[in-house]
Amino acid sequence: MTFPRLHNDTFLRACRRQATDYTPLWMMRQAGRYLPEYRATRGRAGSFMGLATNVDFATEVTLQPLERYPLDAAILFSDILTVPDAMGLGLHFIEGEGPRFERRADDEASIAALAVPDLERLRYVFDAVTSIRHALGGRVPLIGFSGSPWTLACYMVEGGSSSDYRKVKTLMYARPELMHRLLAVNADAVAAYLNAQIDAGAQAVMIFDSWGGVLADSHFRAFSLAYTERVLGQLKRSGADGSDVPRIVFTKGGALWLGAMGGLDCEVLGLDWTANLGRARAAVGGSAGQPGKALQGNLDPNVLFAPPAVIEQEVQRVLDDFGVPHTDAGTVGPAHIFNLGHGISQFTPPENVAVFVDAVHRLSHQMRQRAG
């Protein structure tokens, strides 16, 4: 498959722990409701699923934030729940309430019936990946993604979002063998799904373990981390154009298990705003010429509601927390990808995002100049 030549590879170089001139930046949920142009396109689509399942609309909204801001990566516009939807659970969205499934996977019969879905049911996702990659014209790399096996299981058992995870945790504690069966199917489905995105043109892939942090310490490794490892072990290492495909793992609330996550077979670990980047760098970031993980994060999304001066101040604080990345182009070393600690709020003023993006690029470049 032939795609336009990549012009800005700063994000991919940071994923590989290579030296960069500035700290690359993208935002989780960067194509979303805070942008008026997104809301207009969603209105034309008629619904969220109408938007996500239409290749032209998905391409359009993926590129919208890049038209406003000089971001260093695009991320596929889709939803983490497309996989269980393709398993037959019947995904739909209720305005003001979020995702809901018509059928839950919460007992012996419903879990036994689960299987890795026919990927043709997700063809709209892969076609969107290819369409977006061409539409980008090599401007920046494209990130594909999926929810983690555990995070998908939370929605599948609960039937939608949850405030207390009572149903999924009850199943985990009362019938652990059923939960392991569900997670195994999810892991194999996620791996197949991400591999198909890679084949379609994704240049990096990210696993969102959004709800791993709700688990007790004694159960995180067995019910979340182990199945993320199962996904990573099946992923393709090169993409449609022959280049390597970095893998990012983000566990919201996962700083507690950073030491264990350092052993994952991935290139990048994402951190939420509760983590200290300096301590994370010391724990898993490695040193010049030595193995380690690139780190991604971790500004509190609510900082973007503050005045511009405060946004700049908080950006500088995150950069200072991580410290100066290595600058030797001849070797690998500690690397940082700037991001929010979770998805951007739908209420965020777009003009504040412009301040944020400019501050990250300008201040991180100045930091390297002073160090050099």
Q: Which strands sit side by side in the sheet containing 204-209, from one edge to the other?
A: 74-75, 142-147, 204-209, 247-251, 268-270, 294-299, 336-340
Q: Which two tokens stand for residue 82?
A: 């497309």
Distance in angstroms (rounded) separating the CA atoms of residues 53 and 369: 45
Catalytic residue among 33, 123, 175, 230: 33
Q: Is 79 annotated as a binding residue?
A: yes
Q: Is 313 annotated as a binding residue?
A: no
Q: Is 342 annotated as a binding residue?
A: yes
* Alpha-carbon radius of gyration of the chain: 20
Measure CA 145 to chain center: 6
Residue of 68, 236, 54, 45 whose CA lies nearest to 132: 54
Q: The dihedral of CA 307, 251, 153, 89: what is its sign?
A: positive
Catalytic residue among 42, 133, 139, 247: 42
Residue ranges in 258-349 assigned as alpha helix (H): 258-261, 277-284, 308-322
Q: Strand, helix or coil at 346?
A: coil
Q: Is 33 annotated as a binding residue?
A: yes
Catalytic residue among 29, 133, 139, 247: 29
Catalytic residue among 22, 34, 155, 227: 155
Measure CA 117 to chain center: 22
Q: Is 29 annotated as a binding residue?
A: yes
> Is-catalytic flag, 121?
no
> Is-catalytic flag, 181?
no
Q: Is 44 annotated as a binding residue?
A: no
Tell me whether residue 310 is exposed, middle or buried, using C-beta atoms within 10 angstroms of its C-beta: 0 to 12, 13 to 18, 19 or more. middle
Question: Which long-range contacts does 257-262 make (Cβ < 8 Å, 24+ apart)?
Answer: 257/217, 257/220, 257/221, 257/225, 258/283, 258/284, 259/283, 259/284, 260/221, 260/225, 261/225, 262/293
Q: Are 326 and 368 in contact (CB under 8 A)?
A: no
Catalytic residue among 72, 79, 106, 209: 79
Q: Is 32 annotated as a binding residue?
A: yes
What angle, rounded to 10 degrees, do the helices at 176-200 and 123-136 form?
40
Dihedral (C-alpha) 254, 258, 260, 263: value to the nearest 10 degrees? 120
> Is-catalytic flag, 118?
no
Residue of 219, 217, 221 whose CA lies nearest to 229: 221
Residues at the annotated binding site for substrate? 29-33, 79, 155, 210, 342
Residues at the annotated binding site? 29-33, 79, 155, 210, 342
* Active site members: 29, 33, 42, 79, 155
